[in-house]
Structure 1
Amino acid sequence: MEPILIYGFPLGSSMGLVAALEWLGKPYRLCRVDMLGEMREPSYARINARHETPALITDKGQVLTETMAIAEWLAARDDDRRISPDPLSVEADRMRQLMAFINSGFTGTFSPLWVALEMDPPRPALQAALREYGKEAVIERHDKLEAMVGDGPYLVGDRPTLADALFIGIARWLEFHEVAEPVRWPKLAALRTRLEADPAVIYATALESGDSVAGSGPFRGHVPLAEVIERFGS
């Protein structure tokens, strides 16, 4: 069977993994999940008890959660090295280093901003403090990532890799939370412009938005969440 990536909307970090599946070029299916609704339902715990996306149903029918684990699963099947360098190369070490930073400190600094946004009932004083702290932390992490970026067109080498996929899924949160203008970080802004013009990223973003777009080569269609839970939920 084709693997099924369970990805979230709106603005899920998992959008980048959809783009990575496009770059990989092997058959896959998707399951689109409303993170503000369906993902919070008790039944979703059968897929991920932490009520998070992404999750992957592997070609063996096993459930795999956590972004880094899914990315490593994809890299292990990247026989043509389309989204990852040779696993024993210096370039692969750099890719894993960047992925780890993006998936941990870089992504994590947005947490206070999401907490403030979703707080119910509202607590204005606490929300204001969370936003102030969160924005400062996001800026600091962007400064660090800007310093890590080299002079190449992508994070590793001359074509997008899994590191770029993880980055582009998160990068748009900067404007959503009104933290700062992207041009404050020239290298990251140039990388974003390049990735956002990539056909795979355009396609992944359209799918995330629920748009009806022409099917791509490796994509085999969406699977309803209820079916995924029934067939593969524990």
Structure 2
Amino acid sequence: MEPILVYGFPAGSSMGLVAGLEWLGKSYRLCRVDMLGEMREPSYARLNARHETPVLITDVGEPLTETMAIAAWLEARDDERRISFAPRSAEADRMHQLMAFINTGFTSAFGPLWVALEDDTLDAQKKEVLRAFGREAVIERHDKLEAMAGDGPYLVGESPTLADALLIGVARWLDFHEVASPERWPKLFDIRRRIEADPAIAYALALESGESVAGSGACLGHVALHEVIERYGR
């Protein structure tokens, strides 16, 4: 069977993995999930007990959670090295380093901003404290990633890789939360602009918005969430 990526909207970090699957070029299916509704239902716990996206239903029908684990699964099947590098190469090490940073400190820095936006139980003062803390954290993490970025067109190498897929799913939150202008970090701004111009990103964003568009042909269609839970949930 083809793997199925369960990706979330609105503005899910998993958008980047959809683009990564397009770049990989192997057959796959998708399952679009409302993170503010469907993902919070008790039945979703059969796919991920933490009620999070993404989830990958592997080619043997097993749910696999956590972005880094899914990225590793894709990398292991990247026989043509379209989105990764040869194992034990310096490029692979650098890609893994950047992916780890993006998936930990860079992503988590946005946490206070999401809490302030989504938690209606907080009063205005608490929300503003969270926003201030979050803005400082996001700027600091961007400073760190800017320093880590090289001078190439992408984070690693001459074409987009899994590192760029992870970056683009999260980096757009800078604009969503109106933290600072992207131009403040020239290297990241250029990388983001280059990635966002890629057809795979346009395709992933359109799907996230609920549009029906044509991609590379690797995606064989969407599967309804209830079907994924019934067939592959634990």
Q: TM-score range by the shorter chain?
A: over 0.9
2:35 is aligned to 35
Where does residue 228 of structure 1 map in the other structure?
Answer: 228
Match of 1:24 in 2: 24
Output aligned runs, 1:149-188, within 5 Å: 149-188=149-188
Q: What RMSD in Å do the two structures reach over aligned CA positions?
A: 0.6
Amino acid at match of 2:68: M
CA distance in structure 1 between the partners assigned to 2:37 and 2:208 by the alignment = 15
Q: Encode CA deviations 1:70-107: one digit per residue, 9 max, x unaligned.
A: 00000000000000000110000000000000000000
Matched residue, 1:131: 131
**Offset at 1:120?**
1.7
Counterpart of 1:7 in structure 2 is 7
Letter in 2 for 1:210: G
Deviation at 1:218, TM superposition (A): 0.5
Pairing of 1:85-234 with structure 2 (within 5 A): 85-234=85-234
| Residues in 1 aligned to 2:197 and 2:175: alpha-carbon distance in whole angstroms | 18
Find out whether 1:74 has 2:51 as its counterpart.
Answer: no
Q: Does 1:84 align with 2:81?
A: no
Question: Residue 4 of structure 2 contacts residue 56 of structure 2 at CA under 8 Å; is this kept in 1?
Answer: yes
SS in 1 for 2:36: coil
Question: Hey, what's the Cα distance between the residues in 1 that align with 2:145 and 2:187?
Answer: 9
User: How far apart in 1 are the matches of 2:215 and 2:87?
Assistant: 31
Q: Distance in 1 between matches of 2:166 and 2:35?
A: 18
Q: Secondary structure at the match of 1:180?
A: coil
TM-score by length of 2: 0.99
Q: After superposition, give the CA deviation of every residue in 1:125-157 in whole Å (9 maximum; x if it has no partner).
A: 110000000000000000000000001000110
C-alpha distance in structure 2 between counterparts of 1:212 and 1:231, whole Å: 25
Q: Which amino acid aligns with 1:115?
A: V
Letter in 2 for 1:7: Y
For residue 216 of structure 1, give the secondary structure of its aligned residue in structure 2: coil
Q: CA deviation at 1:121?
A: 2.4
- Aligned partners of 2:29 and 2:219 also within 8 Å: yes
TM-score (norm 1): 0.99
Alignment partners' CA distance in 2, 1:172 and 1:156? 19
Query: How far off its partner does 1:214 sit?
Result: 2.0
Q: CA deviation at 1:114?
A: 0.3
Structure 1 window deviating more from structure 2 (170-179 vs 211-220): it is: 211-220
The amino acid of 1:176's aligned partner reads: F
Q: In 2, Cα distance between the equivalents of 1:216 and 1:33? A: 22
**Partners of 2:167 and 2:202 in 1: CA distance:** 15
Deviations 1:16-62 (A, max 9, x none): 00000000000000000000000000000000000000000000000
Q: Tell me, what secondary structure is at the counterpart of 1:29?
A: strand
Q: Kindly state the Cα deviation for residue 215 of structure 1 after the two structures are TM-superposed.
A: 4.3
Q: Which moved more, 1:212-221 or 1:224-233?
A: 212-221
Distance (whole Å) between structure 2 residues aligned to residue 151 and residue 103 of structure 1: 21
Deviation for aligned residue 1:14: 0.2
Q: What 5-or-longer segments of structure 1 have no aligned partner?
A: none
Query: Which runs of no fewer than 5 residues in structure 2 stay unpaired?
Result: none
Inter-partner Cα distance in structure 2 for 1:10 and 1:24: 24
Moved over 2 A (4+): none
- Once residues 140 and 77 of structure 1 are traced to their aligned partners in structure 2, the CA distance between those partners, rounded to angstroms, is 35
Deviation at 1:6, TM superposition (A): 0.2
